[in-house]
Amino acid sequence: MSLVKSVGKQKVNLDFNKDFINLFGDKIKLNDVAFINRTIADLHPADVANLIENLDVDKRNKLIEIEAFNIEPEIFVELNESLQSEVLVLLTNDSIAKILRKLESDNALQILEKLEENKKKIVLDKLSPQDRFLLEEGLSYPEDSAARIMQREFTAVPSDWTVGQTIDYLRENKELPEEFLEIFVVDNEFKPIGTVPSSRVLRTARESKMNSIMREIPVLISVNMDKEEVGHTFESYNLVSAGVVNKDNKLIGMITGDDVVTVVQEEAEEDVLRLAGVGDEEITDGVFKKTKRRFSWLLLNLFTAIIASIVIGFFQEDIEKVVALAVLMPIVASMGGNAGMQTLAVTIRAIAKKEISSGNFFKIVTKEFIIGVLNGLIFAIIAGVVVQFWFEETNLSILIAVAMILNMIVAGLFGILVPVSLKKFNIDPALASSVFVTTITDVIGFLSFLGIGSYFFLN
Amino acid sequence: MSLVKSVGKQKVNLDFNKDFINLFGDKIKLNDVAFINRTIADLHPADVANLIENLDVDKRNKLIEIEAFNIEPEIFVELNESLQSEVLVLLTNDSIAKILRKLESDNALQILEKLEENKKKIVLDKLSPQDRFLLEEGLSYPEDSAARIMQREFTAVPSDWTVGQTIDYLRENKELPEEFLEIFVVDNEFKPIGTVPSSRVLRTARESKMNSIMREIPVLISVNMDKEEVGHTFESYNLVSAGVVNKDNKLIGMITGDDVVTVVQEEAEEDVLRLAGVGDEEITDGVFKKTKRRFSWLLLNLFTAIIASIVIGFFQEDIEKVVALAVLMPIVASMGGNAGMQTLAVTIRAIAKKEISSGNFFKIVTKEFIIGVLNGLIFAIIAGVVVQFWFEETNLSILIAVAMILNMIVAGLFGILVPVSLKKFNIDPALASSVFVTTITDVIGFLSFLGIGSYFFLN
C-alpha cells in the first residue's frame, strides 16, 4: 500500500521501480484482486498502461483474465498498439463492445481496426444503431486518413446566433460533447465558416453575434486527408483543433491537438524505424514477432551484399596481385554509404515536411552535387595522405583519392534522387530508400576503386 | 493577382508552383512593393513563410530588405530555424524589438535565443521593464527546458469562486490572454489544484463553484523539465494544455498543445538526422554550411573505416592464398551492421519513450540475444548455401555461417548496450550510437570471418 502511495497520481512519467513491478506481479499470481483494483484505481490510466507494459507476459495475461470483465477503456487506449492487439484476443466480444461504448469515436475506431473481420461484425452488432453507423462509416475511409482520428462529437452553431443563445444552448443540451476547445460556426448548409474558442465566448457580452467574434478558418481538413498531412497542417498553422469536412464541404467531425501529437510522433518515429528496416516494432513484442519483422530487411540486405561481393569477384586477379586493394576497398564503400545516408535523412525529412517542390528541386540537387564534390575533395586528400603513410605507394594513394571523389558525388546525388523518385511512385521513401542508396554506394565504391585500380594503375 | 487568388487563404499546405515563385521573385527584383504587400496580406502567415523558404537566397535577402521595417512577427515565427537566424542578422535592433513586443513570451524567447549576447542586451533594453524581466528570467533556464516553450500569459482563479464570478472576471479583465483552453484553479499560495476547460465553464450554471467542476491535474510540469519530457507527458496523458510550476510549486506559466506538436516533431526528426550524422541541417542551408555540418561525422567514419581496414590488414597473407575471402568478407560485416542498426533504432525509440527501465532491462537484452541467435542461424544457413553454390567449397560455407552467427549476436547485444550505456552517461544515444555499433560490427565481422578462416580452415 505504501508503495502505491509513493507513485500516486501527481507523479509524472513514473519510472516504476523493479520492486514495485515485482510486488504487483506477485499480487497477480496470488489473485489479490483487492490490491490490484486499489492500485489501478489510484493511478492515472496512462500510468496503469505503463505498469502493464512492464509486466512479464504470463503475469500480464493473468491480469487480463482477472480484469477482463472490467478493464477500463481509458487504460486500454493508453496501451501500446502491439499490446492492444494481444489484449483484444483475450477479451470477450461483450467486453470489447462495452469498451467501445464508453470511448469517443476516434478511439473506438482504432480498436475496431485491430479486430478480424468476423469479430468486428459481431462486436458492431452489439452497439446501438447510431454508434454502429458512425463507426462503420469511419471504417469505410482509408486507414491513414483523417477520418480515422476524427471524433464525430463536436459543437456547432448557426452564424447569426448571439453569444447568449449559444451559452443557453450549451447549458441545456446534455448530448453535446463534455468538452470542446472551439465552437464551429456553420452556414445554412452546415459548411463551417469560422470558429470561436470557448474562452472567447466566455469573455464576450451575451448580445454579441457569434459571427462578429469568430475567427476565419485557415484550413479545412478533408475527411480523406492523410494523417501525416493532418499533422503537418496542425504544425504549420499552430492549431489546437480543426473541423473535418466531407466531399461536399459539410462539417462532419473534428480533430483535436492531443490526437495529432500522437500521430506526429508516430509518423516521425516510423521514419527512424523504417530507415533502419524495422516496421512498427515495439519493445514489448515477443522474440519471434521481432525476428520475423526484421527478417525481410536482412534478407534484402543479404541480397545487396551479395551483389557487392559479385562486383569484387570480377577483380579477384587484381586483388591476388595487390592485396592492399582488399585491405582498403571497404573504406571507399563505407564513406559513400555514410555520405549517402546523410543526404537521405535530410531529404526524407524535407519530403515529410513538404519542403521539396518542383520550384526548388533542381537547386537542391545541384547543392547536393556540389557538397559531394567538396566532401569528395576533402576526404580524397585525407584518405590519400593516410594511405601514402601506410603503404608508401603513390599509385594507391591517387587511386583511393579518385575513387573517393567519385563515390561521394554518387552518394550525394542518389541520396536525393532515390527518395524523391520513390515518392513520385507513391512508395514511402523512408521504407525503401536506404537499401537502394547503400547498394549503389557499395557497388560504385568497389567498382570505382577496384576498376580504376585494375585498369590505370596496375596493368 | 489571379495567381494570388488561386492560392488564397483556404488552401491547405499549398505547394507553390514554380511559376508563382518565379513571378514573386521577379516582382521582388522589380521592387514592386504594392504587389508584394498584397500577396503577403492575402496569405496565411504559415504560407508566406513557406513562400519565402522557396525563394533563391538573393531574392530572399532583397525581400527582407524591402520588408525589414514591417515584417510580420506571425510570419517570422513560421520560418524554419535556419532561416530565422539568417533574417535576424539582416534586421535592425528596432525591428527585432518590435517583433518581440507583439509575440507571446514563448515565441519571443525562441527569437532571443538566436541573438548574440551583445545584440540580445541591446534588444532587451528596448522592451518594457516587465517584458524584459519575464524574458530574462526565461533565458535563465536551460535551453531545452519547459521554461523556453511556456507562455507567461494564462488565466487562474481561486478555488472558491463561482462560475458567475469567473465569467465576470474574464469579461472585465482586458489584460488576460485573448484565448485560453483551460482555466487554472489555484489555492491561496497560487499552487494549481485543478483545471476547468473553458467549455465546461460555458456549460455550467453561474452559481456552481469552480472547485466542484474542476478536473484534478494529472501532472505538474516543472519549469526545469526537459522539453522532450514535456512532449512525452502531453502524449501520455493526452493533454491539450498544462500548467508550469516553479520549484515552490507555484503556477508561473502554461504550455499549449500546438507548441508541443512542434517539439515532438523536432525531437523525433532530430533522432533521424542524428542517427544519420547530420545535426540540425535544414534543406534551405547553404552548401558550405551543409558541408561543414556533415564533415565531422564523415571524418569519424573514415577513422572507423580505417580501423576495419587495419583488421583486414592482419590477414593479407590469407587473402593472397584464398582470394575468395576478400570477395565474401563484406557480407558478414554488412549483415552485422544492418542487424545492429535495427536493434539500435528500436532501442533509441524505446529510450525516447521511456519504455526501458531497470525493471525490464535484463529481459530486453536477453530478447535481443535470442533474436541475434535466431537471425544468425537463419542467415548462416542462407549465406552458407549461397556460398556453397557459388564457390563449391564446404570450408568456406561453414566459415561464413559461423562468422554470421557470431556477428549477428554481437550486433543485437551492442545494438542495445551501446545506446543504453551512452544514455547512462547522459550522452544523446541518437547522436553517437551508430558509429560505435557499426565499428563494432565491422571489426567483429572482418575479424571473425578472416580470423576463423585463417586459423581453422586454411592452415
Mutation site for B-interface testing, chosen from A178, A219, A288 by largest number of B Cβ within 10 Å: A219
CA distance A291 to B376: 10
- Grid coordinates standing for A347? 531529404
Predicted pLDDT of residue B386:
95
CA distance B181 to B259: 13
Domain with CATH 3.10.580.10 in chain A: 156-257
CA distance B352 to A25: 25
- Nearest by CB to A346, which of B262, B278, B312? B278
Predicted pLDDT of residue B458:
56
Instruction: Give the nearest chain B residue to A194 (CA atoms).
Output: B10
Check CB contact of B370 with chain A, cutoff 8 Å.
yes
The model's pLDDT over B101-146, given as tens digits with 9 standing for 90+, comes to: 888 888 888 888 888 888 889 999 999 888 888 888 888 888 888 9
Check CB contact of B234 with chain A, cutoff 8 Å.
yes
B273/A346 Cβ within 8 A: yes
Check CB contact of A252 with chain B, cutoff 8 Å.
no
Q: Rounded to the nearest 10 degrees, how much is the dihedral formed by the CA atoms of B295, B299, B301, B306?
A: 160
Domain with CATH 1.10.357.20 in chain A: 287-457
Average pLDDT for chain B? 85
CB B348 within 8 A of CB A367: no
Check CB contact of B110 with chain A, cutoff 8 Å.
no
**B156-256: what fold?**
CBS-domain (3.10.580)
> What is A156-257's CATH number, 3.40.50.720, 3.40.50.300, 1.20.120.1730, 3.10.580.10?
3.10.580.10
Total number of residues shown for chain A: 459
Predicted pLDDT of residue A8:
32
Domain with CATH 1.25.60.10 in chain B: 2-143
Instruction: Give the nearest chain B residue to A272 (CA atoms).
Output: B272
This model of the complex carries an ipTM of 0.74
Domain with CATH 1.25.60.10 in chain A: 2-144
> Å from B129 to nearest chain A CA?
28
Check CB contact of B381 with chain A, cutoff 8 Å.
no
- Grid coordinates standing for B377? 542461424
**Domain covering B287-457: architecture:** Orthogonal Bundle (1.10)
Backbone φ/ψ region at B13: left (φ over 0), alpha (ψ -120 to 50), beta: left
Asked if the model's pLDDT at residue B328 lies above 90, the reply is: yes
- Nearest by CB to B358, which of A17, A283, A312? A17
Predicted pLDDT of residue B57:
77
CA distance B374 to B370: 6
Predicted pLDDT of residue B268:
74
Instruction: Give the nearest chain B residue to A319 (CA atoms).
Output: B323
CA distance B79 to B50: 7
Please identify, in words, the CATH class of the domain defined by A2-144.
mainly alpha
This prediction has a pTM of 0.74
Residues forming beta bridges with residue B156, ordered by sequence position:
B184
- Banded pLDDT at A11 (limits 50, 70, 90): very low
B268/A331 Cβ within 8 A: no
Q: What is the mean pLDDT of residues B26-50?
A: 85
> What is B2-143's CATH number, 3.20.19.10, 3.90.1150.10, 1.10.3720.10, 1.25.60.10?
1.25.60.10
Q: What is the mean pLDDT of residues B180-191?
A: 90
Q: Which residues of B touch A443 (CB under 8 A)?
A: none
Q: Please indicate whether residue A50 or residue A389 has the higher confidence score (pLDDT).
A: A389
Predicted pLDDT of residue A9:
36
B374/A287 Cβ within 8 A: yes
- Nearest by CB to B277, which of A276, A323, A338? A338
- Banded pLDDT at B16 (limits 50, 70, 90): low
The model's pLDDT over B367-422, given as tens digits with 9 standing for 90+, comes to: 889 999 999 999 999 999 999 999 998 999 999 999 999 999 999 999 999 999 99
Q: Which residues of A touch B167 (CB under 8 A)?
A: 202
Domain with CATH 3.10.580.10 in chain B: 156-256
Residues 260-299 of B with CB under 8 A from A: 260-262, 264-265, 268-269, 271-273, 275-278, 281, 283-284, 286-288, 290-291, 294-295, 297-299
Check CB contact of A355 with chain B, cutoff 8 Å.
yes
- Banded pLDDT at B11 (limits 50, 70, 90): very low
Residue B178, CA atoms < 13 Å, CB-side half-sphere:
7
Residue given cell 504549420 in the structure block: A236
Q: Which residues of A touch B435 (CB under 8 A)?
A: none
Average pLDDT for chain A? 85
- Grid coordinates standing for A112? 475496431
Residues 165-204 of B with CB under 8 A from A: 167, 170-171, 176, 178-181, 197-204
Q: How many CB pairs under 8 A join A and B?
A: 401
| Cβ atoms < 10 Å from Cβ of B388 | 16
Predicted pLDDT of residue B335:
93
Q: Which residues of B touch A237 (CB under 8 A)?
A: 44, 46
